Amino acid sequence: MSEQSTGTAGVQSLARGLQVISSFDAEHASMTLSEVAARTGLSRATARRFLLTLQQLGYVRSDGKYFELTSKVLQLGYAYLSSATLPQLIEPVLESLSAAVGESASAAVLEGSEIMYVARVHTRSIMRVGISVGTRFPAIHTSMGRVLLAHASEQAIEAALAGLQGPLAPNTITDPAALRAELALVRAQGFAVVDQELSVGLRSVAVPVHRPDGTVAAAMNVSMSVGPTGPADASEAAQAILPQLTAAAAQVEQALAARK
């Protein structure tokens, strides 16, 4: 047998083995050989061969009639979590969050005095400024930036304030003392709200994502358009989003903790 055909056979075997594992779920936690064969579309002989191999490897156990997965299968998930990058962990959470609240959701990290978007899920065009992964904005004028700066060093805050530019929109806060007070408020309450400071018609609320050691790895936010159908008050709009946003951040934190 050639090296190519051997490799093809190996890929097919891996695919079928994963297919057998995936056939088990909450409603099919314990199955007979015939049931596994039916759910995978494999012949009984093939399904039996893979079940016995998985049993020898410790991923499946059997009482002689019924087969079920063992806790060793969790190691496959932990292997993914330990190798996944932060954006990979955040993206599916952002997708669920965006679908739940009907607004765009993003994640960013602090890069000097700027934030850099590492993940984003769009729902619709709600602002004139284009945003995608890799986009940067002055941290001090964004909700995610204020969350990150509120937990950053004094040197990072000084650098952000030293780089202040003119107003980006009519509501942009440019007074250093007012911005310091804003960062103190964010630190105390655990979230940031920015109302039409980056762009007219855009408000956002952000929360931190903590590493297992308590430091802040990133920030997550939800962007909302300001219009006649939404709350006129920014705080009211933020409170409507915060429970789901906070829960989403907690999901990412749990995934980060599982990587240890």
Q: Tens digit of pLDDT for each residue in 110-122?
A: 888 888 888 888 8
pLDDT in tens, 143-189: 999 999 999 989 988 888 887 776 666 777 777 888 899 899 999 98
Are 113 and 163 in contact by the 8 Å Cβ rule? The answer is yes
Are 204 and 237 in contact by the 8 Å Cβ rule? The answer is no
Catalogue the E-assigned strands of the chain. 30-32, 60-62, 66-69, 104-111, 114-121, 136-138, 192-195, 202-210, 216-225
Higher pLDDT, 201 or 27: 27
Coil, strand, or helix at residue 154? Answer: helix
The pLDDT of residue 132: 74
Please report which confidence band the pLDDT of residue 234 belongs to, taking 50, 70 and 90 as the band edges. Answer: low
Reply yes or no on whether the pLDDT at 129 is more than 70: no
Within 10 Å of residue 35's Cβ, how many Cβ atoms? 15
Reply yes or no on whether the pLDDT at 14 is more than 90: no
Structure tokens at 95: 């997708």
The pLDDT of residue 231: 52
pLDDT in tens, 207-219: 999 988 899 989 9
Residue among 225, 252, 220, 245 at smallest CA distance from 144: 220
Reply yes or no on whether the pLDDT at 260 is more than 70: no
Reply yes or no on whether the pLDDT at 4 is more than 70: no
Q: Which pTM was predicted?
A: 0.64
Please report which confidence band the pLDDT of residue 227 belongs to, taking 50, 70 and 90 as the band edges. Answer: low
The pLDDT of residue 221: 93
